[in-house]
Structure formats: C-alpha cells, structure tokens
C-alpha cells in the first residue's frame, strides 16, 4: 500500500456494501478466491525443525498438513487421503514414527514427499497418479507460508508490501518466540484489515499508542498524510520501542541503521494473512484466520534475540502488555463495527481522505473476487 498511497488522490466516497461483511455466500466466495489462492502465514519454521516433524492447520474448511522430510525439506499437502478422502492426521503437531504418512482409516501410506507407497490387501494400478494433493510451501526468514493453489501460486515476495528487503537488517531467522497472544474477534476479517489500515480511530481508541507515536494523534498513519508541514514518524522523545514505558527490552539489533533505530517501528504487510512490526529490540508477527463470516482469530507472536530472553533483568511483560493492550482495544471497536453493519438501513458507509489505504485494500479485493459474487465493489470516484 505504501507506494500506491503517493500516487492516488482522495479515497473513493463509498465503503464496501454492508452485505460484504455479513453475507455467508459472499464469505464463501472470498475463501475460494482469496484465502485458498493467496500465500498464508502459518508458523515459525523452528516449530518444524526436526526431521519427520509435522503440523496441521485449518484454513476455512480446509485442513493442511506440513511435514519436514529427512533431507530437511518442508512439504505441504491437503490433509486428505487419496483413497476415500479421510483426514490423514488429526493431531495438531508431533513427530512421525516412520518415513511414511499413514492414513488411520485403511492404512494407505505415503512417502514424506507425498507418493503413494502401500495399499494393504490390494494392488492399485498407476499408484503414481494417487500422490497426496500438494500445497505450495515457502520458508522466508524463519517463517512458513502455504498456498493452497499449489502450482498456480506466485512468488511469496510479490505479496509483501512494500517488499522483503525492508527487513533485511533484522535477524529474523535467529529470533526466538518469547510470547504468544491469541484472541477471537466477533467480526469479519475485512473489518480487522480496515481498522489496521487507518489511524482515524487512534486518537479516540488508543490513547497509550498515540502518546507513544505522536503522529497517530492526527488520525493518520504516515507523515505525508498529516499535512501542515508535519515532519517525522518516530516515537515520542525518550522512547525507543513499543512497550509500556517506551524502554527497550534489550540492545538494538546490531545491523540496524541509525534511521531504523530512531523510527522505532517498521511495518511489512502480507495480505490477507499477516503483518510484521519490526522494532529495534524485538519483532511482532500478527496473523489472522477467518472463523466464518463474522469471526476472525488473531494471533500475535513476540520474537526476541536469544540473549535478550536469557538476560537476568529481561522484562517481557513491558513489551507484550503494550501490544496486547492495543490489540484488545482494536478488537473491541472491530466487534462494534461488525454489529453495526447488520443494520437493515445501512447499505454502505463513506470513506474519509485519511482512510485512503482502505480504498487501496478495496482495489486489492476487487482484483481477486471472481465473477458471480453478489456484492458490487465500489470503484474510484463512486
């Protein structure tokens, strides 16, 4: 969104129709056209570090199985046996007892690369045509992404805004997860992203965040939107990171530039699945997963350098409580937004100029929703 923001004028007048957030049929269309075709963040790579380790994940009503083979290659499959479609693995994680993935129903077994190897009591012709259904997998900087579109998946880097190089100087691969926070929001997944993409709500909803980031008091996300000669996007005087008191949890990462340290926060976004907030001393990964037309699971992971976690005076709560506070505040207003969208009088809303990134989000959606949707997307100038 960052580069596009500078090339557009004011946001279009209308929001998406209210139907886009409450209609079950349209939600199912979005799952097929977006969530089953885009790159999705699922976990940190170190949770699948050992040979034969596996994890399962739910994406809508689809189950995905990830397995690390003996050569260290991470493989992804639909968690479905080719015999009669049984779930292959019901456990959330573990280590396979052999070099086979075995269906618990009739014991069809597959190699760790997905080829069918055994069909007990029966011979099957053309076993090579009965391999597991593949899922594209990408490991990037210690993070694991999947794409259910398999061979049709594009490059993961193309989904990163503004691009993967933004975080080159953060040691993402070697960081360790210190804390995880999970919250289920009673709202459509798009409501969450719209809230994330604007700071119009910040002065009224996030007093602590606005105190830490003075720019946000103006209801905007970047200095180029602030007007009146506003300069700078960093933290308040004396603050160095996003924490309850603005203090660092440990020394800044050694490869960061002076500008990256002074900024205090750097955002990388991968729609529709996650964003990364990189701070001088820690990194936060926030990912989401739809739980239905009016439900979204939000997961936040705080990553630190191993030596920071091991330091005797390390105060993790000073960092994690601040992030959890902001996300809890966001959860409350997102749920209010969802409840209000059910009004029989409310057909659509109106965007303000400082909500321009939401208009860009609508364009992103518009390029992905295929024909047959019962929701008409607003176009620029509508």
147 belongs to a structural domain: yes
CATH of the domain at 52: 2.102.10.10
168 belongs to a structural domain: yes
Asked if residue 11 and residue 83 are part of one domain, the reply reads no
Asked if residue 135 and residue 149 are part of one domain, the reply reads yes
Question: What pLDDT score does 225 carry?
Answer: 76
Mean pLDDT of 212-240: 85
| pLDDT tens-digit map of 120-144 | 999 988 899 999 999 999 999 999 9
375 belongs to a structural domain: no
Question: What pLDDT score does 258 carry?
Answer: 97
- pLDDT at 382 exceeding the cut of 50: no
Mean pLDDT of 337-343: 97
User: Please, which pLDDT band fits residue 223 given cuts at 50, 70 and 90?
Assistant: confident
Question: What pLDDT score does 135 carry?
Answer: 98
377 belongs to a structural domain: no
Asked if residue 65 and residue 169 are part of one domain, the reply reads no
Give the Cβ contact number of residue 318 at 10 Å. 16
- pLDDT at 152 exceeding the cut of 80: yes
Question: What pLDDT score does 155 carry?
Answer: 96
352 belongs to a structural domain: yes
- pLDDT at 2 exceeding the cut of 50: no
Give the containing element (helix H, strand E) for 139.
strand 136-140
CA distance 84 to 350: 49
| pLDDT tens-digit map of 73-128 | 999 999 999 999 999 999 999 999 999 999 999 999 999 999 999 999 999 888 99
User: Please, which pLDDT band fits residue 377 given cuts at 50, 70 and 90?
Assistant: low
Domain end among 153, 174, 194? 153
The structural domain count of the chain equals 2
81 belongs to a structural domain: yes
**Domain range for residue 299?**
2-35+160-366
Question: What pLDDT score does 45 carry?
Answer: 98
Asked if residue 167 and residue 314 are part of one domain, the reply reads yes
Asked if residue 213 and residue 69 are part of one domain, the reply reads no
Question: What pLDDT score does 3 carry?
Answer: 36
Closest-CA residue to 271 (of 17, 40, 30, 86): 40
Question: What pLDDT score does 173 carry?
Answer: 97
328 belongs to a structural domain: yes
Question: What pLDDT score does 10 carry?
Answer: 44
Asked if residue 143 and residue 168 are part of one domain, the reply reads no
CATH of the domain at 259: 3.90.380.10
Helical packing angle, 189-196 and 356-366, nearest 10°: 140
- H helix runs in 34-168, sequence order: none
* 280 Cβ neighbours under 8 A, 6+ residues apart: 240, 241, 248, 252, 253, 256, 260, 261, 264
Question: What pLDDT score does 7 carry?
Answer: 31
Question: What pLDDT score does 125 carry?
Answer: 87
- Token pair for 179: 């804390």
Asked if residue 229 and residue 202 are part of one domain, the reply reads yes
Question: What pLDDT score does 151 carry?
Answer: 86
Asked if residue 171 and residue 149 are part of one domain, the reply reads no
| pLDDT tens-digit map of 5-25 | 333 334 458 899 999 999 999
Average pLDDT, the chain: 93
Question: What pLDDT score does 4 carry?
Answer: 34
332 belongs to a structural domain: yes
Q: What is the pTM of this model?
A: 0.93
Asked if residue 51 and residue 23 are part of one domain, the reply reads no
Question: What pLDDT score does 6 carry?
Answer: 34
DSSP notation for 298-354: EEEEEEE-HHHHH-TT--HHHHHHHHHHHHHHHHHHHHHHHHHTT-TT--EEE--GG
Percent above pLDDT 90 for the chain: 87
Question: What pLDDT score does 230 carry?
Answer: 64
Asked if residue 175 and residue 52 are part of one domain, the reply reads no
CA distance 7 to 166: 20
Asked if residue 149 and residue 173 are part of one domain, the reply reads no
Distances (CA, A) of 366 to 154, 211, 375: 18, 36, 10
Asked if residue 208 and residue 102 are part of one domain, the reply reads no
């Amino acid at each position: 969104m960052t580069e596009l923001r500078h090339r557009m004028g004011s946001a279009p007048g209308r929001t998406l129709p209210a139907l886009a957030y409450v209609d079950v049929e349209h939600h199912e269309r979005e799952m097929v056209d977006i969530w089953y075709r885009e790159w999705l963040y699922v976990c940190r790579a170190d949770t699948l570090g050992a040979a034969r380790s596996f994890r399962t994940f739910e994406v809508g009503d689809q189950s995905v199985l990830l397995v690390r083979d003996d050569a260290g290659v991470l493989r992804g499959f639909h968690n479905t046996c080719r015999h009669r479609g049984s779930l292959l693995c019901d456990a959330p994680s573990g280590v396979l007892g052999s070099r086979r993935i075995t269906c618990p129903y009739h014991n069809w077994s597959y190699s760790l690369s997905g080829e069918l190897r055994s069909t007990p009591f029966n011979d099957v012709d053309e076993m090579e045509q009965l391999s597991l259904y593949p899922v594209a997998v990408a490991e990037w900087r210690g993070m694991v992404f999947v794409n259910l579109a398999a061979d049709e998946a594009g490059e993961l880097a193309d989904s990163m805004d503004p691009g993967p190089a933004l975080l080159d100087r953060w040691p993402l691969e070697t960081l360790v997860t210190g804390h995880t926070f999970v919250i289920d929001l009673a709202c459509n997944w798009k409501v969450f992203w719209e809230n994330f993409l604007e700071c119009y709500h910040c002065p009224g909803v996030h007093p602590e965040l606005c105190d830490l980031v003075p720019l946000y008091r103006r209801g905007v996300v970047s200095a180029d939107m602030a007007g009146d000669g506003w300069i700078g996007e960093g933290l308040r005087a004396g603050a160095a990171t996003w924490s309850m008191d603005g203090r660092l949890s440990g020394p800044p990462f050694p490869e960061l530039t002076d500008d990256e340290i002074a900024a205090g926060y750097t955002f990388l976004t991968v729609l529709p699945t996650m964003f990364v907030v990189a701070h001088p001393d820690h990194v936060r990964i926030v990912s989401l997963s739809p739980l239905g037309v009016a439900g979204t699971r939000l997961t936040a992971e705080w990553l630190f350098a191993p030596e920071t976690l091991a330091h005797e005076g390390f105060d993790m709560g000073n960092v994690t409580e601040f992030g959890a506070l902001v996300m809890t505040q966001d959860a409350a207003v997102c749920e209010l937004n969802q409840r209000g969208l059910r009004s029989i009088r409310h057909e659509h809303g109106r965007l303000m100029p400082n909500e321009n990134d939401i208009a860009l989000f609508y364009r992103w959606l518009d390029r992905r929703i295929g024909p047959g949707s019962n929701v008409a997307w607003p176009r620029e100038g509508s």
